[in-house]
Amino acid sequence: RSHYFIQSILRMRNPDELISEILSNTTASPTNNPTHTMIAAGYPDNLQADPTADKVIGTLLLMCVVLGTTANCLALYYLVFKQKCVALVSVLYMLLCVLGVVVCVMTTPVVVSMLADRRPVIFSHSRFCEIWDRMFRTVLPTSMFVVAMLSTSGCVTIVYGSRVSTPRRYVLTAITGYAILCLVISVLKRVFEDAVYDRDMGFGVGRRQQGTSPAWDTAIVLISLLQIGGVWVVVGLSLTVSAWNLHGRTVRRSLRARHRVSVTICLLSALFLLFHLPLLLTTFLRGISLHEAYPRPYFTSHFMGLYSWVLAKILLPALNMTLNPAVMCWRIPGFAIWMRVRDNFPEGRLKRRTTYLESLTRTLTVNPNILPVTV
């Protein structure tokens, strides 16, 4: 207020009138100008982002866009057209690759904003900002739920073996229903929220409209905690049980292929827990701070205010999606052979080598123990 009072003296204006004018300019409703996004005002501390840190984050996100999209597309191509397996694990791998492509591509506007000193750029259009926020709130929780289903099915296979099989139809129905539920929640948010570009977060978000009860923020935070925390706990429990049952177990030769798949699922689950833990903690702190005006008391520091959300919600999930195909290439023998064939053989010999690879893949599908497998 003292800052506004000094400006009012210099401009010979009433301080209250000046404050009202500034607030009306920074929080104008997007319905008055539907082609431009409302930009959220900065924090009271007047925090300034570090241009070097923004460039580093933008560069890492750009690498995720390029490498993550390419790697997930290659993995999806192999799973669909080369492996041609309709087992539950393969279908979940395919879904994870598709969602990985979508997440990596959707980080492109954030890349542009971070490399442009946090200017809205692509987010400047209100309609795009709104669509991006709704889609990202649907795709990211759905990808987390797919990992939970993958981890749970792997845990069931490790504990019970072939005695219990996870019904593929029920798992896919649950994933579809969860995605529809997230989409419905995102669409309903439009009634109570406006799409804004938050300069401090670096991406488009939804902000509660004026006149809406503060209980709406509480409901949104609780839903986010259930979406993130519930999935994280399920994956953590499944990973713990799986690791406990795999530790020290002597694997028969006839079960080595199934054991290798179980270890792959454990690695993907561990990556998920590591890269999504900051998002869980950040959302939990956001829930604790509901009794005070956000960003107080936990998001007023330089790091928490300017970098916690873009790292936890954008960068780390994108890195997770980028590393998932690398784990698949490392753990799936046919995928690794296919990648080496594409890299080491020229185009003239590639067709002949690909025919051999397809026959080898069919043989491994029928009898996975024809080759020694190192676990």
Percent of the chain's residues with pLDDT above 90: 31
Mean pLDDT in residue range 35-57: 68
Q: CA-CA distance, 133 to 118, in Å (whole number)?
A: 17
Q: What is the torsional sign of CA 27, 30, 33, 35?
A: positive
- Residue 349 one-letter amino acid: R
Of the ranges 18-22, 65-69, 152-156, 203-207, which is most confident? Answer: 65-69
Whether 126 has a pLDDT exceeding 60, the answer reads yes
Whether 235 has a pLDDT exceeding 90, the answer reads yes
295: preceding bond cis by omega (within 30 degrees): yes
Whether 130 has a pLDDT exceeding 70, the answer reads yes
Whether 25 has a pLDDT exceeding 50, the answer reads no
Angle at 97 between CA 93 and CA 98, to 5 degrees: 120
What is the per-residue pLDDT across 177-210, written as a single tens digit (0 to 9) for each? 999 999 898 888 777 777 788 888 888 887 766 6
Cα dist. 62→82, 108, 116, 195, 243 in Å?
Answer: 29, 7, 13, 24, 34
Q: What is the pLDDT of residue 30?
A: 42
| 3-class secondary structure, 375 | coil
Of 322, 240, 320, give the one whose Cα is nearest residue 278.
Answer: 320
Q: CA-CA distance, 161 to 255, in Å (whole number)?
A: 9
- Residue 125 one-letter amino acid: H
Q: Do 34 and 126 meet the contact criterion of CB atoms below 8 Å apart?
A: yes
Whether 136 has a pLDDT exceeding 70, the answer reads yes
What is the per-residue pLDDT across 86-105, written as a single tens digit (0 to 9) for each? 788 889 999 999 999 999 99
Of 173, 105, 174, give the one whose Cα is nearest residue 140.
Answer: 105
* Residue 149: pLDDT band with limits 50, 70, 90: very high
pTM recorded for the entire structure: 0.77
Cα dist. 130→55, 86, 187, 336 in Å?
Answer: 25, 36, 10, 40
Mean pLDDT of the chain: 77
E strand residue ranges, 73-222: 193-198, 203-208
Q: CA-CA distance, 313 to 8, in Å (whole number)?
A: 40
Residues whose CB falls within 8 Å of the CB of residue 301, separated by 6 or more in sequence, listed in order: none
Q: What is the pLDDT of residue 372?
A: 42
Of 176, 105, 93, 115, give the one whose Cα is nearest residue 136.
Answer: 105
